[in-house]
Amino acid sequence: MPLNKVVQPAFKLARDGFIVNDALADDLKTYGSEVLPNHENSKAIFWKEGEPLKKGDTLVQANLAKSLEMIAENGPDEFYKGTIAEQIAQEMQKNGGLITKEDLAAYKAVERTPISGDYRGYQVYSMPPPSSGGIHIVQILNILENFDMKKYGFGSADAMQIMAEAEKYAYADRSEYLGDPDFVKVPWQALTNKAYAKSIADQIDINKAKPSSEIRPGKLAPYESNQTTHYSVVDKDGNAVAVTYTLNTTFGTGIVAGESGILLNNQMDDFSAKPGRTERLRAGGR
């Protein structure tokens, strides 16, 4: 499908607006009030008569609609090299940010092989590093495969106990080992190994929660990672697209870049400021 056709639903929604529901009204009041009122461009969109939009109000994002229209007409270069890039760079400079127009122009998306795993006969595909989610999900599923989850029943206390314990172990490994494969070697084969998952499952006591303070990342074999949004689209021919995007925390930085209508994210806090960490801050890191 051509880009201008794909963009149309989002363009119309931004141009014509939509009715604010309970959830959005609550987010604007609870989280938005901490960041959005500090920036006039943001306040002009999400505020009305000195207060955040309420349930029943209409949220119109006219500037975002214009940006989407320009991207539809001119392609990705409009965002990375055109007027939108200029507005992002200017907003960065105004607020003490580090990203320049040259940085945006130099950005290149990288196509990588998905992470895959098998869960009870079902093939699972997910995002590879530098995203930590794909390895993380496969590792958790591998651990859960060692338990008869159907026997415990969906939503039961025992099922929740097993899932929570599996996730605690996986999160410990995620924090220790996952990072940008362009800079560090990510042991994805070891982390998604069935035998390794079995060794973790053997440590899980269904009758007792293990304190997170006692959980350490595993010892891997030598080498030979109301905010984030995800959606999947599958057509009648079985073609599938899975998309995950995020501002990180709710409303990101709270800063809208110029008149673009685009909120800037605060994803930087997902990196570590500690030297030596696999996910530490570094130029060009993802």
Residue numbers annotated as active site:
228
**HSE (CB half, 13 Å, CA atoms) of 187?**
18
User: Residue 130 and residue 104: Cα distance in Å, rounded?
Assistant: 19
246 annotated to a ligand binding site = yes
> Is 191 assigned to a binding site?
no
Do residues 225 and 131 make contact, with C-beta atoms less than 8 angstroms apart?
A: yes
d(CA 257, CA 252): 12
Torsion of CA 184, 137, 109, 236, to 10 degrees: 160
* Binding-site residue set: 246-248, 270
* Binding-site residue set for L-glutamate: 246-248, 270
